[in-house]
Amino acid sequence: MSAPHLPKVAGIDPEVPVSTQTAAPLREIPAAPGAFIQDRLAGWVSDLTTLHELTERLASTATLDAALNELLHAGAALVGARRGLLVLERAGTTTPSTTLGLGLGPADLGHLETVERSATALGRVLDGPPEAADARDGIATPDLLGDQDLDPCHREVATRLGYAASYALPLASEAAGRLGGAVWFYDEPGEPSEKQRHLVGLYARYATEHLARLTELERARADIATVAEELLPSRLPRIPGVRLAARHRTGPQGGGDWYDALPLPDHALGLAVGSVGGSGPSAMAAMGRLRASLRAYAVMEGEDPVAVLSDLELLLRLTEPARTATALFAYCEPAARKVVLAGAGHTPPLVLGDRRCEYVETTLSAPLGMLACWEAPSVEFSPAPGETVLLYTDGLLRRTGDAMDRAFARLHSAAASVPKADRHDPAAVTDHVLRAMLPDGLDRSDSTEDVVVLAAHFD
C-alpha cells in the first residue's frame, strides 16, 4: 500500500524530506564577531587611562618623600592591597636609606625589621641578581600562613600584623639600575592577577626613573646647602652686652642671601645682612666674595658704615659690573648701646622691646651696582636694655607670598606677638617670628627664596 501524497503548497517541495529533529528556540541573539574585540579594546583603554593618571600624579611630585608616598598608594591601588612597605637603598649598600610604610605604624615597621631579610619576599627582591625573573616580575606569596617552609619569626610577625599574603616588586630600570623595592600586604590569601602585575610593573619602572631623578636632585640640593653654610659664619661671636642668634636657609637652586657678625676693635660689633642678585653656584660664589670683602672693609673702617658700603659698591662695580646686590651694615657699641647703620636697597631693621616694636627709619637708597657712585646717609639709634634688633633679607617677606606692604605688616605683627617671656632670648625671638611668618617651615622645597634672620639682643 503506497504512502499518501502530501498536498502541493506554493513554495514547498513535497519531495524534500522533513527533519524529525526540532531546533531549539532562539533565546538570545548571538554577539557580533567584533564585540569581543571591542570589549578587549575598552579594557585596554581603561587600563591605560588609569596608568596615565597615576603616572601624571607621580610626575607632579617635586620631592622624594612625596614621590615615595604616591608610589606606595598607587601600587596598592593597582594590586588591590591595603598596606605596603617601601625601601630605598644606596648603591653598593644593604642598609636602607629610606623606609616608608603604608597603613603601618612605627611599631609595625619595628616588628617587620625583626624578620631576617632573606626570609621575606622584599629581601629576596632586593638581594637577588638583577637578571633573575623574580627581580623583574616580582614575588607573589599567595598564602603565607599556609607555607610550611615559612620562617617562624616571619610567621609570628604576619600573624601579629594580620596579613596573609604579599606581593613584592623591585624598583629597578635599565637606566637607573635597582634603587630598592616595595611590598604590598593582603589581609586574606590571594595574589594580583596577570593584568595587575603587568600594570604595576610598568608603573614601577616609570617610578624608578622618576625616583632616580629626584634622588639626584636631593643630593644636589644637599651639596648646595652645604656649600652655602660653609660660606657663612660657622659660629657667632660673643661680645659683652649683646647676644646673637641667626637662622638661614638656602633655596633649592642656591642663592645669594648672607649674613655676618664679626668682633671689631674696642669691643665693638659689626652686623651685616645682604643679598646678591641671581641664584645658583655663580650667585653663591659672588656672595662669598662680597661677604669676605665686607669683613675686610669693616675691620678697617667699620665705625663708618657708609664708607664700608661705598667701598663694597666700588668693588662690585669694578669686578662684577653685571651684578647687583643689596646690603646693610650696622656698627654696634654694646656698652654705649649705640648702633650706626647704613643700607643699600635693603629692608630696614626692626626693633622689638617691652615698650616698642617698630621699624628703623633708614634712608631710601638704590642697591649696590645700580648707580655710578653709591652713597647714602647713615642712621643712628639707641636700643634700650632688653631690646632686640632684627635684621633679615627680603626672602623672608617674599616667601610669605604676600605683597610687600602686607608682608611688612605681617612681620611687624609676628614680632609684636613674641611672648614677653621669650623677648630676652634672641633665638626664641627668631624662631617665633619664623613660625608666624612661615607656618610651613623654612625647609619648604617649592620656594626658591633664601631666608636670613639675624637677631641681636642688647642686655
Residue 200 CA to residue 205 CA, distance in Å, equals 9
Residue 87 CA to residue 136 CA, distance in Å, equals 16
Q: Which residue has the higher pLDDT, 225 or 184?
A: 184
Q: How far is CA 400 from CA 69, 161, 253, 395, 404, in A?
A: 27, 44, 18, 9, 9
Q: Among 280, 365, 292, which Cα is nearest to 328's? A: 365
The mean per-residue pLDDT over the stretch 53-68 comes to: 91
Residue 441 CA to residue 447 CA, distance in Å, equals 11
Residue 133 has pLDDT above 50, yes or no: no
Residue 355 has pLDDT above 60, yes or no: yes
Domains and CATH numbers, the chain: 54-223 (3.30.450.40), 233-458 (3.60.40.10)
Query: In terms of DSSP H, where are the helices of 10-105?
Result: 33-59, 64-79
Least confident interval from 60-69, 124-133, 229-238, 289-298? 124-133
Cell of 308: 664700608
Least confident interval from 95-109, 147-161, 337-351? 95-109
What's the order of all strands across the beta sheet hosting 325-333? 255-264, 268-279, 325-333, 338-344, 379-381
pLDDT in tens, 371-382: 666 677 899 999
Residue 435 CA to residue 87 CA, distance in Å, equals 32
Residue 235 CA to residue 402 CA, distance in Å, equals 32
What's the pLDDT at 6? Answer: 45
Q: How far is CA 109 from CA 105, 138, 459, in A?
A: 6, 21, 50
Cβ atoms within 10 Å, residue 58:
19
Q: Are strands 96-102 and 139-141 parallel, antiparallel or unpaired?
A: unpaired
Q: Say if residue 350 is exposed, middle or buried (CB neighbours under 10 Å; 0-12, 13-18, 19+).
A: buried
The mean per-residue pLDDT over the stretch 393-414 comes to: 92
Whether the CB-CB separation of 172 and 178 falls below 8 Å is answered with yes
Q: Using 50, 70 and 90 to split pLDDT, how confident is the model at 24?
A: low
Residue 157 has pLDDT above 90, yes or no: yes
Q: What's the chain's length in residues? A: 459
The two counts, helices (H) then strands (E), for the chain are 12, 15
Backbone angles phi, psi at 173, to 5 degrees: -150, 165
Kindly state the DSSP code that residue 332 receives in the 8-state scheme: E
Question: Which residue in the block uniquely carries the three cell numbers 616667601?
Answer: 399
Residue 14 has pLDDT above 50, yes or no: no
Q: 216's torsion region: left (phi>0), alpha (psi -120 to 50) or beta?
A: alpha
What's the pLDDT at 28? Answer: 58
Whether the CB-CB separation of 455 and 244 falls below 8 Å is answered with yes
Kindly state the DSSP code that residue 361 receives in the 8-state scheme: -
Q: Using 50, 70 and 90 to split pLDDT, how confident is the model at 407?
A: very high
Amino acid at residue number 129: P
Query: How many Cα atoms occupy the beta-carbon half-sphere of 411 within 13 Å?
Result: 29
Residue 217 has pLDDT above 90, yes or no: no
The mean per-residue pLDDT over the stretch 308-312 comes to: 91
Residue 404 has pLDDT above 80, yes or no: yes
Q: Over the chain, what is the mean pLDDT?
A: 85
Residue 369 has pLDDT above 60, yes or no: yes
Residue 330 has pLDDT above 50, yes or no: yes
Q: Using 50, 70 and 90 to split pLDDT, how confident is the model at 324?
A: confident
What's the pLDDT at 91? Answer: 59
Kindly state the DSSP code that residue 152 receives in the 8-state scheme: H
Residues 6+ apart with CB under 8 A from 93: none
Residue 81 CA to residue 103 CA, distance in Å, equals 10
